């Protein structure tokens, strides 16, 4: 019994990153003095913990802020307000190591570099210069993703799409990052290759206790990979919970709309398939109260108040 207790204690994942009320706005269309005429409000108060070793799925329509969130994590976009705090003591954004695997390995791999250089790019960016050390790491990581070390001097175009995505995964792994963002990691690949890449990602995660943030429109990919799922709408998280809870028993009216609009599993979610009465509202002027109010069939008294993400759902009706 004791061992069961200590086991369950041991598997409680620890938090590696906390985002607190993170907001990002981008200036749009400057006037003749260079002053912004307005702002695109891309992230509007993100509160989120990332836990070591988990896969956190992020879903939501095009333009809801998924890539902006990824860029904030990578330190490429500074929050306009709010804070990132890393458990390793680094306070600011960009002070920890977050790598990304993009959708299209064709365009994300430099065609002029041999793949050992591509794989070790993050190490080079962090100051490593020893060719021998870099080749050594590249060959080990390549082997882990199923690329033969004798191919290290080849160029990206000499590989198939699936192999190129393996090289992109090797690049994301080589610097031993705190978090790997997977931004639609299989949607540009042939169906036959997608499962192999997902299995590889799952195996690597098990072997190295990797932490993934998975951005995907594909419900079956999210279900297959994720421990927890966050649903984003207009730069906010509207629902957050275990994958089973969010995908099988969605509570927020937006999550229901999003998943009900998917005719069957495996079909990608696209904004145009979400049969809502209106489009995703513009993010120049944010709505008052609940952001989903003008599309929500359950809208009632109290919805004109801002909603909090208490108990994992940003809706006072569905608490």
> Which residues contribute to the site for ligand SF4 (CB under 6 A)?
253, 290, 292-293, 296, 298-299, 303, 307, 315-317
For residue 212, the cross-strand partners are 55, 180
CB 66 to Mg ion: min, Å:
5
40 near ligand ATP (CB under 6 A): yes
Radius of gyration, alpha carbons of the chain: 21
3-state secondary structure (DSSP) of residue 152: coil
| Alpha-carbon torsion angle 234, 239, 244, 247, nearest 10 | -40
Residue 63 touches which of ligand ATP, ligand SF4, Mg ion, none (Cβ within 5-8 Å per kind): ligand ATP
- CB of 265 within 8 A of CB of 219? yes
Residue 292 touches which of ligand SF4, Mg ion, ligand ATP, none (Cβ within 5-8 Å per kind): ligand SF4
Site residues for ligand ATP, window 274-313 (CB under 6 A)?
283
Nearer to ligand SF4, 43 or 303 (CB): 303
Q: At what angle do helices 161-173 and 191-208 cross, to 10 degrees?
A: 20
CB 306 to ligand SF4: min, Å:
9
Q: Return contacts of 250-257, CB within 8 angstroms, 24+ apart.
A: 251/312, 251/313, 251/315, 251/318, 252/292, 252/313, 252/314, 252/315, 252/318, 253/292, 253/296, 253/297, 253/298, 253/315, 253/317, 253/318, 254/292, 254/295, 254/296, 255/231, 257/295
All residues at 6 or more sequence positions from 256 whose CB lies less than 8 Å from its CB, including other chains? 250
Nearer to ligand ATP, 40 or 200 (CB): 40
Residue 283 touches which of Mg ion, ligand SF4, ligand ATP, none (Cβ within 5-8 Å per kind): ligand ATP
All residues at 6 or more sequence positions from 6 whose CB lies less than 8 Å from its CB, including other chains? none
CB 291 to ligand SF4: min, Å:
8
Q: Where do contacts with Mg ion occur on this chain (CB under 5 A)? A: 66-67
CB 84 to ligand ATP: min, Å:
16
Applying CB under 6 A, among 6, 62, 107, 209 the residue interacting with ligand ATP is 62
Applying CB under 6 A, among 22, 64, 119, 179 the residue interacting with ligand ATP is 64
Residue 230 touches which of Mg ion, ligand SF4, ligand ATP, none (Cβ within 5-8 Å per kind): none
Q: Which residues bind ligand ATP (CB under 6 A)?
A: 26, 28, 40, 42, 62-68, 283
């Amino acid at each position: 019994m004791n061992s069961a207790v200590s086991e369950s204690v041991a598997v409680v994942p620890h938090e590696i990153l906390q985002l607190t009320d993170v907001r990002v706005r981008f200036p749009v269309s400057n006037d003749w003095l260079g002053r912004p005429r307005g702002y695109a409000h891309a992230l509007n108060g993100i509160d989120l913990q990332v836990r070591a070793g988990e896969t956190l799925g992020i879903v939501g329509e095009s333009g809801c802020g998924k890539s902006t969130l990824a860029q904030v994590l990578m330190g490429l976009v500074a929050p306009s307000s709010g804070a990132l705090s890393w458990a390793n003591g680094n306070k600011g954004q960009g002070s920890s190591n977050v790598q990304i695997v993009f959708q299209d390995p064709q365009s994300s791999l430099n065609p002029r570099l041999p793949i050992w250089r591509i794989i070790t790019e993050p190490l080079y960016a962090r100051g490593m210069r020893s060719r021998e050390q870099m080749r050594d790491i590249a060959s080990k990581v390549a082997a882990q993703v199923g690329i033969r070390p004798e191919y290290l001097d080849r160029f990206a175009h000499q590989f198939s799409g699936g192999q190129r995505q393996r090289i992109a995964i090797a690049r994301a792994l080589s610097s031993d990052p705190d978090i790997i963002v997977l931004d639609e990691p299989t949607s540009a690949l042939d169906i036959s290759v997608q499962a192999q890449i997902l299995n590889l990602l799952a195996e690597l995660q098990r072997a190295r206790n990797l932490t993934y943030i998975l951005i995907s429109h594909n419900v079956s990919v999210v279900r297959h990979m994720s421990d927890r799922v966050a649903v984003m709408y207009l730069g906010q998280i509207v629902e957050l919970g275990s994958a089973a809870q969010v995908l099988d028993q969605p509570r927020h009216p937006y999550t229901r709309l999003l998943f009900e609009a998917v005719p069957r599993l495996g079909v990608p979610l696209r904004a145009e398939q979400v049969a809502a009465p209106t489009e995703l509202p513009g993010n120049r002027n944010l709505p008052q109260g609940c952001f989903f109010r003008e599309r929500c069939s359950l809208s009632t008294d109290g919805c004109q108040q801002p909603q909090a993400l208490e108990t994992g759902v940003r809706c006072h009706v569905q608490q």
